[in-house]
Structure 1
Amino acid sequence: MDGRLVLLVGLGGAIGSILRYLITEIIPSNQMPYGTITVNLLGSMLLGIMFGAIAADAIINQDYVLLFGTGLLGAFTTMSAFAMDTVTLTENEISTTFIYVIITIVGSLGLAWSGYKIGFSLFS
């Protein structure tokens, strides 16, 4: 195992988790966790762009993939917060929970796909 690569992932993870914290603090979340929605949708789009570029044979150094993809975006997006937000929301309003789950899942998949297509077309 290459310690330098582990440090790159850790550095990216530290930056990603700090960015996630800042965004979820800045964006108000009254009855809907808008901060978590934002980071998951944005992160899905950015990761899609990165992998679209890779699929288009763009020369992207493995270090950058580990730093930004695995580290930064891996820590920036958050499945655990999505899961806990969903559990918490079910205690109050089922319709809000349903909307949250649909926006997050369909939106994340749609933006990852769109990002992939954008990245592929930009770099092919």
Structure 2
Amino acid sequence: MVTRGYDGLPNKYNTLDIGPALVVGTVELTDAQLEKIQSEYQNGGECGWCGNVASMLRPPHMFDYGKNGERMCKICWNHDRQMYLGANGVDIGLFDEDDKSESCTSCSKYLAEEA
């Protein structure tokens, strides 16, 4: 079961994971309220690939067409980047011009720099 919440970003939580946690307070959000919060993140929303909510999304790269205009988060972008580099040596490029993701020297996975 999934519960929607807000912790600075609109997010989805597995209800079973948050059940045993200490509850400090709760607020019920309507769909309209959640939509208003999400609209504050003009370039963000729900990733069309993994379903996570991110503050920054972009259209998919040329090899991975989105369905119905869905957009992709940085984690999914870097995953695809790693897959295409490994499969045929094609680099789809950085997520954006401010992307500081680097490839891990031992496993070659792209690691997003957390801000």
Fold equivalence (TM over 0.5): no
Structure exhibiting the larger radius of gyration computed from Cα positions: 2
